[in-house]
């Protein structure tokens, strides 16, 4: 709170009203206040001329620091002072607690009072220069929260190279391991991009069948069973598979949920499975042990009606689930798939077990 020292009626000073963040309002001589650029701007914008419209100061300025700042401004805004006078005022001015000094720096910065920021920063820099970390921490109450290894005390052996080399080696080894893991996963991902079947082919395949969403199970036995069941209706798919023999990649398919889909998004999900089953056709992969079934692929045309109904149901169910979070769905489907596998899983010669839901239905959901 700064009362003007003496009110000389003949001087007719004008006053500015300032409000700090805690709500308290005070009155300051205008020439003192405009030393702060921020306040100056506010005055030009018309604020602060009366008690009802005080200038709101930034939050970092509390009443104590405001009075310090105003003392500083009051001294320095007088033009007639010599450099020596100003310097000695500054020296005395910054003698205060560290805490207060930091608050003052922050407040001066928010008021854009650059000379004061420089002055206080220099004082703080002097407190840091040449001191040990412990001393600095004590001065500023900085918590010592680095772990021992982070601090890395200098070792007795100054030769740093061996340590760096060791870390390099460990790093490289870890990286290699990671890469291998990635490769396993990437196989599937890469396969996605290679699909260049024409949309027509897929369409015909899709429309020609009521595809089921399927799951690839690592348990090959169960798959085998499923496939055998659905072999019949996979006939049309075989033709497609022939034309898409390009989709041969090495396989190490891990779990994946896929849909055969018309829509791209669904396609991405589906294709891995398609592809991988395609690959499986050609690969020697015994996990799926599909070759036998594929060879025996019955290129028939008919679809068992009751299975068809079942498939439709499954499709709609799945389509609903498609809209929610995919990874969680994966879990759910995987667990669900245990029971539903027989109907879901259709495998044909090329593994395109497209239990294709009515394309329109899915597409609606997709959109």
44 DSSP assignment: H
CA distances from 279 to 42, 94, 274 (A): 73, 77, 8
Q: What binding mask, one character per residue, do residues 307-326 give for another protein by CB under 8 A, x or -?
A: --------------------
Q: Which of 16, 111, 124, 333 binds another protein (CB under 8 A)?
A: 124
125 binds another protein (CB under 8 A): yes
3-state SS string for 75-121:
HHCCCCCCHHHHHHHHHHHCCCCHHHHHHHHHHHHHCCCHHHHHHHH
59 binds another protein (CB under 8 A): no
160 binds another protein (CB under 8 A): yes
112 binds another protein (CB under 8 A): no
Name the one range near another protein by CB under 8 A: 3-11, 168-176, 217-225, 237-245: 168-176
Q: Which is nearer to another protein, 100 or 265 (CB)?
A: 100
22 binds another protein (CB under 8 A): no
Q: How far is the CB of 96 from another protein (least distance, A)?
A: 12
CA-closest candidate to residue 259, choices 356, 125, 348, 118 = 356
11: exposed, middle or buried (Cβ count in 10 Å: 0-12, 13-18, 19+):
exposed
Structure tokens at 88: 């000695």
Q: Which of 3, 5, 22, 144 binds another protein (CB under 8 A)?
A: 144
12 binds another protein (CB under 8 A): no
Q: Which is nearer to another protein, 107 or 297 (CB)?
A: 107
Contact 47, 55 (CB under 8 A): yes
Q: Which of 8, 141, 193, 367 binds another protein (CB under 8 A)?
A: 141
178 binds another protein (CB under 8 A): yes
Q: Which is nearer to another protein, 6 or 158 (CB)?
A: 158
18: exposed, middle or buried (Cβ count in 10 Å: 0-12, 13-18, 19+):
buried
Residues lying near another protein in the complex (CB under 8 A): 98-99, 102-103, 105-106, 109, 117-118, 121-122, 124-125, 128-130, 132-134, 136-138, 140-146, 149-154, 160, 163-164, 167, 170-171, 174, 178
């Amino acid at each position: 709170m700064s009362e003007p020292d003496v009110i000389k009626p003949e001087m007719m000073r004008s006053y500015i009203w300032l409000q700090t963040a805690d709500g308290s309002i005070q009155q300051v001589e205008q020439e003192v206040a405009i030393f702060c650029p921020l306040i100056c701007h506010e005055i030009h914008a018309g604020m602060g001329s009366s008690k009802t419209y005080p200038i709101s100061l930034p939050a970092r300025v509390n009443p104590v620091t405001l009075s310090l700042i105003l003392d500083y401004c009051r001294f320095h805004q007088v033009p007639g002072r010599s450099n020596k006078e100003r310097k000695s005022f500054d020296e005395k001015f910054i003698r205060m607690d560290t805490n207060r000094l930091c608050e003052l720096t922050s407040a001066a910065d928010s008021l854009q009072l650059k000379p004061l920021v420089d002055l206080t920063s220099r004082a703080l820099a002097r407190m840091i220069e040449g001191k040990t970390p412990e001393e600095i921490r004590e001065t500023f109450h900085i918590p010592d929260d680095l772990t021992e290894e982070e601090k890395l005390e200098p070792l007795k052996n100054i030769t740093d190279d061996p340590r760096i080399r060791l870390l390099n080696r460990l790093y490289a080894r870890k990286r290699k391991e990671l890469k291998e893991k990635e490769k396993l996963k990437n196989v599937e991902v890469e396969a996605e991009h290679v699909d260049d079947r024409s949309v027509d082919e897929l369409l015909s395949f899709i429309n020609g069948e009521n595809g089921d969403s399927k799951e690839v199970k690592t348990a090959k036995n169960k798959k085998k069973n499923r496939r055998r069941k659905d072999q019949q209706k996979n006939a049309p798919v075989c033709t497609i598979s022939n034309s898409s023999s390009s989709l041969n990649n090495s396989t190490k398919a891990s779990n994946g949920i896929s849909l055969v889909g018309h829509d791209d998004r669904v396609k991405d999900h589906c294709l891995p499975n398609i592809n991988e089953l395609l690959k499986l056709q050609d690969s020697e992969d015994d996990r799926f042990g599909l070759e036998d079934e594929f060879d025996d692929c019955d290129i028939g045309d008919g679809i068992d009606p009751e299975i068809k109904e079942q498939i439709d149901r499954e499709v709609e169910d799945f389509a609903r689930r498609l809209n929610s979070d995919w990874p969680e769905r994966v879990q759910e489907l995987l667990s669900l798939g245990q029971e539903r596998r027989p109907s879901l899983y259709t495998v044909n010669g090329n593994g395109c077990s497209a239990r294709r839901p009515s394309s329109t239905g899915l597409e609606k959901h997709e959109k």
